[in-house]
Amino acid sequence: MRVVLIQGDITEQDVDAVVNAANSSLLGGGGVDGAIHRRGGPAILQECRLIRAGAYPDGLPTGQAVATTAGKLPARWVIHTVGPTYAAAEDRSALLASCFRESLWIADELGAKVVAFPAISTGIYRYPLDEAARIAMRTVRETPTDVDEVRFVLFDAKSLAAFEAAYDDVF
């Protein structure tokens, strides 16, 4: 598996699946979630509502992932996953790792070969960037998958630098 790190906007990526740092409501939010719904259009929200009405009436639990259409995005699917909010007093790294693992499992089920990830939990959920980057990188390395390319799409230079450092540590 190839791991690619770039600075950019995940909604513009020509990949099979884009991972969304969603919240458990699946009904939209700020940050990357807002950008995906804005650019992807209402078809994504429509499927999210069906998922809420069916398998997850109480919302998608933290650390889990589900797929929908990507609507008007260049990607074919959006894989929604819910990262943990950061808490200094509690180690939530297993939940963050689970987001990456579960998203890759869903990608395998879909047959997605190129998958773009944002820096899950490092925005509104305040996870320290260096820590989150290392967890992301370690989990991607350790998860058996048929995905050919994991593309981390970092929104700013600081996030890109943190993920590059994590890449050098882990690979």
User: Is residue 136 a contact partner of residue 163, using CB atoms and an 8 Å limit?
Assistant: yes
Q: Which residues contact 96 (CB under 8 A, 6 or more apart)?
A: 63, 83, 84, 120, 121, 127, 132, 135, 136
Total residues at interface with ligand ADP (CB under 6 A): 20
Instruction: Decide whether 54 or 67 has the Cβ nearer to ligand ADP.
Output: 67
Instruction: Decide whether 93 or 144 has the Cβ nearer to ligand ADP.
Output: 93
User: Closest distance between ligand ADP and the C-beta of residue 1, in Å?
Assistant: 21
Task: Establish if 10 lies at the interface with ligand ADP (CB under 6 A).
Answer: yes
Exposure string for 140-158, b = 16+ CB within 10 A, e = fewer: beebebebeebbbbbbeee
Instruction: Decide whether 67 or 136 has the Cβ nearer to ligand ADP.
Output: 136
Task: Establish if 132 lies at the interface with ligand ADP (CB under 6 A).
Answer: no
Span of 4-12, 66-74, 101-109, 160-168 interacting with ligand ADP by CB under 6 A: 4-12
Task: Establish if 70 lies at the interface with ligand ADP (CB under 6 A).
Answer: no
Q: Please give the positions annotated as active site.
A: 33
Task: Establish if 81 lies at the interface with ligand ADP (CB under 6 A).
Answer: no
- Count of other CB atoms within 10 angstroms of residue 171: 10
Among 155, 162, 166, 167, contact with ligand ADP (rule: CB under 6 A): 155
H or E element that contains 138? helix 129-142
Report the amino acid identity of residue 84. Answer: P
- Count of other CB atoms within 10 angstroms of residue 38: 11
Can you give the binding site for ligand ADP, defined by CB under 6 A?
9-11, 21, 31-33, 35, 83, 118-125, 153, 155, 159
